[in-house]
Amino acid sequence: MTNVGVAKQEKKPGVIGRYLARNRATDNYLIKKDASRVLSGIFIVILLFGLCFLILQPLLHQFSNSIMSREDLFDPTVIAIPRTPTFANYRTAMSLMNYWSTLFSSVLITFLVAALQIVACTLVAYGFARFEFPLKRFWFACVILTVIIPPQIIRAPMFLNFHFFDLFGLITLIFGQPLQLTGQLGGYALLSATAMGLRNGLYIFMLRQYFRNMPKELEESARVDGCGKLRTFVQIMLPDAVPMLVSCFLFAFVWQWTDGFYTNMFLSDYGIMAVEMSSLGDVFNSYYIRMVIAAVGSGHGVSPPVALVEAMISTGVLIGIAPIILIYLVAQRFFVESIGQSGIKM
């Protein structure tokens, strides 16, 4: 019995016992610190879950609508999960949107526009980062204004300038009348090549911050080796900036893909995905009336049910943004690293 009692006395305390002992030694500070850490972790998890739900819930709702049959759409007991899922809406939407030809033209034009924007923005950003010129701060403030001011505010003057495009009166002097660049890819290409396209001010700001943080010793070494400014920019600065350039290009491509402002002004006749998505409701309305006329011989006063139109629009949106989601999944590392690489420092 004595040996057993001694063994019990010599038995070391467990993890909980040691933790409580340390807590008593710190006057309950340890348990307060750990409780605060756990509660803050739970709060962050709840916050992240809420943000993810806000982002994903509309997509999940659209996907649910897109795979519902007509019976499910008009059944009030079906809310989120269809009883008889079908992909017929996808076939109809792809046919109405001329999906594959629209996808090809959208990729081609969006790639061209994004490439022009990044080339122009890179040159402007490098100039702001490495050179001194008169009114430099004023011009950079103008760049920031293009980020702050929505383009819709200058819609009317922009439309008039490009509808009656005349460079200092020279075009009228030579051709007798100004050029009409609205509804033309050339007009938007000109806007992008001069770093005035969609969100170009943001790309200039990000690239400027990146070039500012690059060591000046690189340029000094290149100058000692006999490199001029252009050669230094092309052979020294650009290769190091490739990750940032790719990030900005991806941003430009994604935003251009879903843009409606510049697309409707310059690219409405080119079969762009953004235009097809925005007009799908009207196209489906005409398609539905034609189907009714073919079935019963008359379509007077006929219009498609609202639920059916919403399902078709949801389907069109999903297949329209599918390439963007794929690009993000493949290149998400560049999206995440782009802000960190810009080195936001004034």
Q: What is the pLDDT of residues 314-331, one digit of tens each?
A: 999 999 999 988 888 887
Q: What mean pLDDT is predicted for residues 31-52?
A: 87
Mean of pLDDT values over 301-313? 84
**Closest listed residue to residue 266, CA positions, set 170, 176, 171, 155:** 155
Quick: pLDDT tens for 198-249: 889 889 998 998 888 888 888 778 788 777 888 888 888 888 888 888 888 8
Query: How much is the pLDDT for 119?
Result: 92
What is the structure's pLDDT at 7? 47
Q: What is the pLDDT of residue 111?
A: 92
Tell me what the mean pLDDT of segment 131-148 comes to.
89
Give the mean pLDDT of the chain: 83
Whole-number percent of the chain with pLDDT over 70: 91
Q: Which range, 121-130, 163-172, 214-223, 261-270, is most confident?
A: 121-130
Helix residue spans in the chain (DSSP H): 2-10, 15-25, 29-66, 70-73, 88-96, 99-130, 136-148, 155-163, 170-175, 185-193, 200-213, 216-224, 229-232, 238-240, 242-257, 261-266, 273-278, 280-296, 306-342
* CA dist., res. 216 & res. 210, Å (int): 12
**Least-confidence region, from 75-79, 162-166, 269-273, 334-338:** 334-338
| 325 backbone dihedrals φ, ψ, rounded to 5° | -60, -40
The structural domains of the chain, with segments of one domain joined by +, span 14-56, 99-342
Q: Is the pTM of this model over 0.75?
A: yes
Q: Domain 99-342, CATH 1.25.40.10 — does that match?
A: no
Tokens of 344: 């936001």
Q: Is 100's pLDDT higher than 80?
A: yes
pLDDT at 85 over 80: yes
Q: What is the pLDDT of residue 1?
A: 47
Q: Tell whether the model's pLDDT for residue 298 goes beyond 90.
A: no
Instruction: Using alpha carbons, select from 143, 190, 142 the residue that is nearest to residue 162.
Output: 190
Spatial CB neighbours of 285, under 8 Å, sequence gap ≥ 6: 303, 304, 309
Beta bridge partners of 179: 165
Q: How confident is the model at residue 3 (pLDDT cuts 50, 70, 90)?
A: low
Higher pLDDT, 346 or 96: 96
Note the pLDDT of residue 25. Answer: 76
